[in-house]
Amino acid sequence: MLDPNQLSPDGSVALSGFAPSPDGKSLAYGQSEGGSDWVTFYVRDLASRRNTADTIRWAKFSGASWTKDGKGFFYSRYPEPPSGQQLKAKLENQALYYHRLGTPQSSDVKVYARPDNPSWFVFGGVDESGRYLFVTTSKGTDKNELYMADLGNPMRPSVKATVKAVVTGQDANYFPLGVANGRLFLQVDKDTPKRKIVAAPASTPGPTAWKTVIPEGSAPIEGASLVAGRIGVLTLQDVASVVRLYTLDGKLEREVPLPGLGSASGIVGRLDRPELFFSFTSPLYPATAFLYDAQTNKSQPFNPPKLTFDPAKFETERVFYTSKDGTRVPMFITHRRSLAKDGNNPTMLYAYGGFAISETPGFRPDVIAWVEQGGVYAVANIRGGGEYGEEWHRAGQFERKQNVFDDFIAAAEYLIREKYTSSAKLAINGGSNGGSPRRRGDDAAAGALRRRGPAGRCARHAPLRRVHRRRGVGDGIRIVEGYSRVPLSPRVLAAAEREGGGVLSGRAAHDCRPRRPRGAEPLVQVRGDTAEGAERRARVREASAPSRGGAGQPWLSPARPPDRGARGHLVVRRVSPGHDGAAAEQRGAVAFDR
């Protein structure tokens, strides 16, 4: 129906997303050019396999959500930027629109907008029944408001129906699962960091009417959906996925069989159909889609990949070790089944430990190549990630950041103590946030490991170190939270607070180099060149005194220099398009020391 490789001769045009109409007659798909986040939507008639005249421009971070009659779809767009300013113009006044097939974009209906908060994101999507439209607003990719509109007859939807508030304030995350039997089901994390499922009458969906259906448990809920007449819930239990099916009243019915210890995702299906789809992967199992039948309680792979290695020769262990403060930390270790624990095996230890990102077990071809040669590959699920919910994340933030390094050190010591490897045979690896913490020019964890003896080698890929000014770049990077409590410029903090985080200008932090480019000024610059808003700037200039990094290694100084020995980071986040209008993110940290 559509070959993304044929969109442009030089490969500069990418398929950014697609959505078939419920009647199976049309396909809305988005194209982005030259790596830009701007998306143009087209509509293809599936019978003729030709595009119609429908063309939707100036969409960004948006998907297409069809009405059940198949005659149009909702999408989010920005006002058309001035000519030549597409990559530099401020992103403001995103609004939700409805496009009816066969009409020009100028005739599209503006469904919802927030001119009182021009920097907010506005997204929308229709539930499975086609009767209800859900609208969300947010300042970024965390915490949102939720609204809904009753479109009436799904085959003759009233796209101008009143949009009413469900919950406002952007104080937590509220994700609508859909409406079943007249009840609205939501996944929420308000006062429940591991999340829960609530329900309320669709006619009175406000928080005062919420009833807990599936309470918060010891394992965080990673996702949920209404499928096969039930509530499908994906949880992370000791960093391995578990998929369970509950009745609509919240009674546990069964656990969906998985191929083994690994990571599941998806849980895609319909409420009125018995089947559901999910994806599964593990260190020895490439990502594979599975079809599960709720009537037979059996799963089968859908178009499985062909393996070029024998997974029976290898195994992945889930072990637990004790960190410096007594915390129990999980780790996954992949190796040959015939491995001799004699302390003589080349071993690579990896960890991330930041931004509530869970390092769940997954497949990597380079790991297979490594273990085929007799190596051992270990992934430590250190604090700072999201493996055990928000508490685990917070335990690796700010003044508790040292826990991240202690957990990593303890992982190395465990591998040596249990004779998987030795100091001479152990290497450690980290990227982005996992490679960014620096201490006197060295990775803090690596430095500690070397001082204490366990690690013989250290590798960092794409560490985030500092930000320099880059001119002529329209996509910005946001400061979203303090990564360590150190004294920063009051102007930086004030601007960040006003903007709900602020914006760092420049290219992705991964593009920042260890040394300052000639003529560039080290700075943190808060400005309005992304959706975070107004033109506000705050610079952090290089201190007059040389830093301990020496020439070419400037530290980001506040209004007054921090005390000697102070270290810290600024968290950064890049927003990019996600499924169904949701904004996805990439996070990292910019480090500095004094």
pLDDT computed for residue 214 by the predictor: 98
**pLDDT tens-place string over residues 489-541:** 455 445 444 444 333 322 233 333 333 333 333 333 333 333 333 333 332 32
Q: Is it the case that residue 248 has pLDDT exceeding 60?
A: yes
The structure tokens listed for 593 are 């020391």
Instruction: Return the CATH number of the domain spanning residue range 197-305.
Output: 2.120.10.60
Instruction: Identify which has the larger pLDDT, 475 or 315.
Output: 315
Per DSSP, the three-state class of 381 is: coil
Average pLDDT over residues 51-67: 97
Q: Is it the case that residue 466 has pLDDT exceeding 70?
A: no
pLDDT computed for residue 572 by the predictor: 38
pLDDT computed for residue 86 by the predictor: 84
Lowest mean pLDDT among 46-60, 308-322, 415-429, 459-473: 459-473
- The end-to-end CA distance of the chain, in Å, is 58
**pLDDT tens-place string over residues 357-415:** 999 999 999 999 999 999 999 999 999 999 998 889 999 998 999 999 999 999 999 99
Q: Is it the case that residue 457 has pLDDT exceeding 90?
A: no
**pLDDT tens-place string over residues 117-140:** 999 999 999 999 999 999 999 998
Q: Is it the case that residue 589 has pLDDT exceeding 90?
A: no
Q: CA angle at residue 377 from 375 to 381, to 5 degrees?
A: 165
Which residues 6+ apart lie within 8 Å of 350 measured at CB?
359, 377, 378, 379, 380, 428, 429, 430, 434
Contact 206, 167 (CB under 8 A): yes
Helix (H) or strand (E) holding 414: helix 402-417
Phi/psi at 159 (nearest 5 deg)? -75, -10
Rounded Cα gap, residues 137 and 66, in angstroms: 19
pLDDT computed for residue 432 by the predictor: 76
Q: Tokens 């928000």 correspond to what residue?
A: 390
Per the prediction, the chain carries an average pLDDT of 80
Q: Tokens 């928080």 correspond to what residue?
A: 207
Instruction: Give burial (CB, 10 Å; 0-12/13-18/19+) of 72.
Output: buried
The structure tokens listed for 329 are 């930390």
CATH class of the domain whose range is 311-461: alpha beta
Q: Is it the case that residue 448 has pLDDT exceeding 90?
A: no
* Mode of pairing for the β-strands spanning 347-350 and 426-431: parallel
Average pLDDT over residues 85-102: 93
Lowest mean pLDDT among 38-52, 275-289, 354-368, 491-505: 491-505
Residue 474 CB neighbours (<10 A): 18
Average pLDDT over residues 322-331: 98
pLDDT computed for residue 84 by the predictor: 87
Any idea where the domains of the chain sit in the sequence?
A: 1-171, 197-305, 311-461, 478-593
Per DSSP, the three-state class of 436 is: coil
Q: Tokens 């409805």 correspond to what residue?
A: 98
Q: Tokens 């199992």 correspond to what residue?
A: 285
Instruction: Identify which has the larger pLDDT, 88 or 411.
Output: 411
The structure tokens listed for 39 are 């998306």
Rounded Cα gap, residues 41 and 135, in angstroms: 20
CATH value of 1-171 in 3.90.420.10, 3.40.50.1780, 2.130.10.120, 3.40.50.261:
2.130.10.120
Question: Would you say the pTM of this structure is higher than 0.75?
Answer: no
From 64, 62, 85, 131, select the one nearest 54 (Cα to Cα).
64
pLDDT computed for residue 461 by the predictor: 53
DSSP string, 67-126: -TTSSEEEEEE-PPPPTT-TTTS-----EEEEEETTS-GGG-EEEEE-TTSTTSEEEEEE
Contact 202, 218 (CB under 8 A): no
* Mode of pairing for the β-strands spanning 221-227 and 211-214: unpaired
Q: Is it the case that residue 451 has pLDDT exceeding 80?
A: no
The structure tokens listed for 101 are 């097939």
- Max CA separation in the chain (angstroms): 73
